[in-house]
Structure formats: C-alpha cells, structure tokens
Structure 1
Amino acid sequence: MAAFRDMEEVSHGLLSLLGANRAEAQQRRLLRRHEQVVERLLETQNGADRRLRETLAVEEEVAQSLLELKECTRLGGTELQQLEAELRKTIEEDASLQASLSQLTTELQELKELEAGLQQQEREVDKDTTVTIPSAVYVAQLYHRISKIEWDYECEPGMVKGIHHGPTVAQPIHLDSTQLSQKFISDYLWSLVDTVW
C-alpha cells in the first residue's frame, strides 16, 4: 500500500509536472499570440497615423486651393467691376460720338444745301451777266464773305494761317494741323463764323 501511495504521489507529481509544462507551453503560445496581436495593433496604428497624415495633407491642399479660388473670385469680381465701368464709359462716349456725328451730319447736309444753292446762284449769275466769274474764285469770295476769314495761302505746309475779321476786332489764326485734329480745326473755324446774318 505504501508503494501504491508512493506511486500515486509520483503520478500526482508527474501530472502536476506535466500540467506545469502544459501551462508553460500554453503561456508561451499565449505570449506569442499576444506579441502578434501587439504587432498587428502597432501596424494598424502606424497605418492609421500614415492615413491621418495623408488626410491632413489633402485637407491642407484643399484649404489652400479654396483660399486661392476665393482670391481668384475676388480678383475676378474686381476685374469685372472695372470692365463694367469701362463699358459704361465706352457707352457714354459712344452716345456722345453719336450726338456729334448727328450734328456733323446735319451740318454737312446744311453745307450741301448751301453748296447746291451757291451752284444754283452761280448758274443764274452766269446766265444773267456777260462777265464770266470762275466758280472757284466765286466760291472763295462767297466763303470769305460768310466766314470773314482772309487766308494766308503762302504759309508753310501743315499750317493754317489767316486773319478773321470779327465784328469788333481782327483776330489772327495760326493753327498747326500736325498737332491738332482736323475736327478741332474745323470746329474752331466754325466757331468764328457769326451766326447772325
């Protein structure tokens, strides 16, 4: 019986020793499994950190693009306002030019009518008189009578010179056609003509 008890004790000892070995092996397996889980966790965390950095970089790029777009929109709005102001100014200038053109058309029509009248008078004078007056001389005399301008035909080219015999005083005319527009010269000369006949 004592031997059986000794054997039982050895068996329990062996079983406990085997149990301890199994627990150690299981503990090693659990530790390996734990290390694998920790490695995967670290890899996942690294991946998440990388993705977070990438997302932040993309967000920063989007924010920068948005700021640039807002700036472009602001500049575009400013440029649009400038273009609208230029368009309004051009429309006003066009209206002014249209009015001037209408006035010039009226004046041109009046001049054509005057010229037609002068030609008619010239024909009548030619019929009524025996003395023939050359038409250019006649027109020049008629223009002189209307405008009261005595032209200097011997002035240098590009210059408009003469004397306007106004209602009270004679006024010299000295205009440089290379420096002044034909419209300005024409308007200036017409302004000298007395509208009271």
Structure 2
Amino acid sequence: MAAFRDMEELCQGLLSLLSANHAAAQQRRLLGRYGQMMERLLEAQDGAEQQLREILNTEKDVAQSLLDAKEQACQGVAELQQIEAKLQKASEEDTHLKANLIQLTRELEDLKEIEADLEKREKEVDEDTTVTIPAAMYVAQLYHRISKIEWDYECEPGMIKGSILCGEKEPCVLVVGM
C-alpha cells in the first residue's frame, strides 16, 4: 500500500514538474524518491519471497505430518482388524467353553444324584447288615450257651464255624452256612 502511495506521489510530482518548469531540482528530488520507492519495493519483494518460502516449508511440514497421520491410521486399522479377529476367536472359544461348562454342570448334577442314590442304598445295606449281623451273633451266642459250641467268627462271610468237645475231649468241627 505504501508503494502505491509513493507511486501516486511520484506521478503527481511528475505532473507538477511539467507544469512548473522547475525541472532540475524537482527531477533530483523525484529521482531520490524513486530510488527510495524502488528500495521499498525490493524490500517488500524480499519479504514476500521470505513469506512464500516459510509458507512452502509449512506446507511441506503439514503434508509430511498428514502422510504420517495417514500411515498411523492405516497401522491403527490393521491393528484394529487383528484385535477384532482375536476378539471373535475369543468369543467363539468363550461360547464353546460355556457350552462345555453347562454340559459338565449337568454331568456333575447327575453324578450328585447318583452319589445321593448310592449313599441312600449304602445306608439301607448298612441298616440291613447291622440288623442281620447282631441277630446272627445272638443266635451264635445262644447256641454257645446251650450247646457249648466254640464259634469261629473270623471265617468267610456267610459261614460260621464252630467246634464242640466230643466225648473224648477231641473237638468236632461244625460249619453252618447262612
């Protein structure tokens, strides 16, 4: 803007030179102003060139950072796809494990029911055995008191061995099966 004003003043000065005929003094003065104006124009041109270089460097930096950001975005997308694939695989494995857990839970419940049934049967067998064995022992003790038979309780299950003194003090072996 200042350069345009200077040019306008130069033009007005030239017009006044033509009209006043003070040519030599005004010509020197105008030439001095013309030199100043040219210096300002050169300075403005240098400043504009410097600003253009800075703008170009800034554009290069921005373009490079944009390329870097695009590369990072591509890497991020690739990583995201890998993570999504891992997540899908983990989800499938989780579903499979949950199905196995449900199946194992059912099997455990079935085994608990079987165990409870076995415990119930075991108690029934124990009750039956408890009732039978004392009765057998009672009978054996009764026989011993009546007949003086010596019973061997350490024989095979379901058998009772006994011995009695025969007339000559020689024992006779008696085997009773149950």
Query: 2: CA distance between counterparts of 1:121 and 1:67?
Result: 79
Give the 5 Å matches for 1:68-147. 68-129=79-140, 130=143, 132=151, 134=153, 137-138=156-157, 141=158
Aligned to 1:151: none
Offset of residue 13 of structure 1: 4.1
Runs of 5+ unmatched residues, structure 2: 1-19, 145-150, 160-178
Instruction: Determine if the alignment matches structure 1 residue 16 to structure 2 residue 17.
Output: no
Offset of residue 118 of structure 1: 1.6
Offset of residue 136 of structure 1: 7.5
**What is the count of residue pairs matched by the alignment?**
132
Query: 1: CA distance between counterparts of 2:115 and 2:155?
Result: 24
Q: Which has the higher helix share?
A: 2
TM-score between both structures, scaled by the size of structure 2: 0.61
Letter in 2 for 1:83: D
Instruction: Determine if the alignment matches structure 1 residue 40 to structure 2 residue 51.
Output: yes
Show CA shifts across 1:97-147 (max 9, x none): 220231132123212211220221111122224264637732xx49xxxxx
Query: 1: CA distance between counterparts of 2:155 and 2:52?
Result: 111
Percent of residue pairs identical: 12
Moved segments of 4+, more than 4 Å = none
Structure exhibiting the larger radius of gyration computed from Cα positions: 2
Query: 1: CA distance between counterparts of 2:155 and 2:118?
Result: 22
Match of 1:55 among 57, 66, 69: 66
Q: Secondary structure at the match of 2:156?
A: helix
Aligned alpha-carbon RMSD (Å): 2.7
